Chain A
């Protein structure tokens, strides 16, 4: 029988909370802050671990969905045509890739297409691109904000 990741993290959190933190002098302010932050960090990680593979798959699917939509509207000069081809290639190459790598590759190609659209994109396709990227990001970032909500920066 092996300890689960959650059990291992729980035991580390308990050690930090009840022994390490208690053993630090009150004037060791930075050390105390960093131990407290470590405890918080580990607690959030413990809660994230099970959901992470699905989160990364969904992230890659979302990026691919945006890429497909952009391929449908992108038009313009040479820079846009080249960036469009690079995005199509990234979409093709993603099969079999780990989800996080696929997201990265597609997002890099989308960024290239955005830059190209500002260089020589058609007026209409650039307007559509602006709309698609902002709509996508509002939805995507809400999913990210949800998972990072426990960090406490965001009132949502």
Chain B
């Protein structure tokens, strides 16, 4: 190989969306910090007061409580009381989301804030209100949105982390499946070029850049967080690197689209808000399709596996094709299915355990618990890659 080719190959190995490359660098620093001390509501109240003052808000914080659930962000629900005589309407309740010392997935809340602003009117989202992108008030990045009522899973009879092994049941399934698909189609049809999303770069240097950016980010996280080797994870990494597909059409991808990441009204069977946009980027729609089809987010009933407990595999693919007019390329989908399972393996078996060993999260116990899912992802990778051995 000539020296020019070696340099070109080396550039490709590190080619990543700049904002995501910055997250890798941030993680390298955060990993070296001492154990994380969980925020008390007093500290959060103090940070909120300073942020509100800086925003020119004279409202008083009337209540604040910690929310449960989730494996990554710390979440607090609070209420504001307008000062006497104020005419500005206040939302009854707000949600504050902050990163712990080192989250299971490194993300940038400034991008999420920008995107939530942009998506209003396209799909239902929580209205973003205030941003502490550099951690000036809370010591780490934070964002406030208006509270949206609803649930991420049926209230009765569920004890799993939201969306894992999602079970909606037949009545909710029939109500939620079309809006679920419609919203995904709207996200993929969003005019991101017209919106000029601050902080979002466009992977258009060559047709393979969209997939390469995604692979390289997760490869960097794997290299950073890996605690031990597993042959199938290495095999998947090598296979992915060799099989980066071209992208025919760049779209806005959500990155974590599934049951568990939208709020719905259980009585009306309506979707109130699409949540968790941290992994959104300009990329290939196949990545979202593959994520929806992940077994982790599916439910098996009477031997039938339904993605997000809404669609059987082929039903989802053909319904998406029919609604959007796009063709799902099965070879590209296969690449992204391997990538998504590999990502999940990295998240639970490398990043989650790495964070909990360093005591860097308020949810160390959840992360250790979730690492048990690593075996399932290893099995899924083996099944997906077995096709390549035939």
A residues near B (Cβ < 8 Å) are 27-30, 32-34, 37-38, 40-41, 66, 104, 107-108, 110-111, 114-115, 117-118, 127, 130-131, 133-138, 140-142, 144-145, 148, 151-155
Q: Is the CB of A32 within 8 A of B68?
A: yes
Assess the A134–B366 pair: CB atoms within 8 A.
no
A134 touching B382, Cβ below 8 Å? yes
* Contact of B300 (CB < 8 Å), options: A107, A133, A155: A155
Q: Is B224 an interface residue (CB 8 A)?
A: no
B interface, how many residues as a size bin? Answer: 35 or more
Docked complex Cα distance between A115 and B223 (Å): 14
CA distance in complex: A111, B234 (Å): 6
- Interface contact A153-B376, CB-CB below 8 Å: yes
Question: Could you tell me the distance in whole angstroms from the C-beta of A131 to the nearest C-beta in chain B?
Answer: 4
The reply to whether A30 and B66 contact each other, CB–CB distance below 8 Å, is yes
B382 and A108 form a contact (CB under 8 A):
no
Which residues of A have CB within 8 Å of B7? none
In the complex formed, the residue of B with least CB distance to A67 is B231
Out of B232, B234, B242, B362, which one reaches A134, CB within 8 Å?
A: B232
Q: Which of B116-124, B246-254, B367-375 contacts A (4 or more CB under 8 A)?
A: B367-375
B67 within 8 A of A: yes
A38 vs B235: C-alpha distance when bound (angstroms): 35
- Taken together as a complex, chains A and B put the C-alpha atoms of A107 and B363 apart, in Å, by 29
B373 touching A107, Cβ below 8 Å: no
Q: Is B43 an interface position by the 8 A CB rule?
A: no
Does B389 lie within 8 Å of A153, measured CB to CB? no
Roughly how many angstroms separate A131 CA and B363 CA in the complex, as a whole number?
Answer: 38
| Contact A115:B375 (CB < 8 A) given known A37-B366, A41-B365 | no
> Nearest Cβ distance between residue B128 and chain A, in whole angstroms?
23
3 A-B pairs with least C-beta separation:
A144-B375, A29-B68, A141-B379
Report A119 CB to chain B, min CB distance, Å: 9
The chain A residue sitting closest to B296, CB to CB, is A153
Known: A108-B229, A134-B385. A37 touches B378 (CB 8 A): no
A27 and B64 CA atoms in complex are apart in Å by 11
A131 pairs with B389, CB closer than 8 A = yes
Residue contact A115 to B234, C-beta cutoff 8 Å: yes
Question: With A and B bound together, what is the CA distance between A141 and B369 in angstroms?
Answer: 17
Given A141-B376, A145-B376, A155-B165, are A38 and B389 neighbors across the interface (CB < 8 Å)? no
Q: Can you identify 11 A-B contacts, CB atoms within 8 angstroms? A: A27-B65, A29-B67, A37-B369, A111-B230, A133-B232, A134-B382, A134-B389, A137-B381, A138-B379, A138-B382, A154-B373
Known: A134-B386, A154-B375. A118 touches B238 (CB 8 A): yes
**Contacting residues of chain B (345-390) with chain A, CB-CB under 8 angstroms:** 362-363, 365-366, 368-370, 372-376, 378-379, 381-383, 385-386, 388-389
What's the minimum C-beta distance from A16 to chain B, rounded to whole angstroms? Answer: 12
Check B231 against A107 for contact (C-beta < 8 Å): yes
- Residues of B near A37 (CB, < 8 A) are 365-366, 369
> Known contacts A130-B389, A153-B165, A154-B373; is A30 also within 8 Å of B229 by CB?
no
Question: In the bound complex, how far is the Cα of B68 from the Cα of A29, in angstroms?
Answer: 5
Q: A136-B231, A141-B382 are in contact. Are A151 and B389 (CB under 8 A)?
A: no
Q: Is the CB of A34 within 8 A of B385?
A: no
| A151–B365 CB distance below 8 A | no
CA distance A104 to B229 in the complex (A): 7
Residues on the B chain within 8 Å of A108, using CB: 228-229
Q: Is the CB of A137 within 8 A of B373?
A: no
Q: Contact partner of A138 among B165, B300, B383, B388, CB < 8 A? A: B383
Which of chain B's residues 209-239 have a Cβ closer than 8 Å to chain A?
228-235, 238-239
If A38-B365, A134-B235, A148-B375 touch, whether A107 touches B160 (CB-CB below 8 Å) is: no
B268 CB, nearest partner CB in chain A, Å: 25
Is the CB of B164 closer than 8 A to any CB of chain A?
Answer: yes
B149 contacts partner chain A, Cβ-Cβ < 8 Å: no
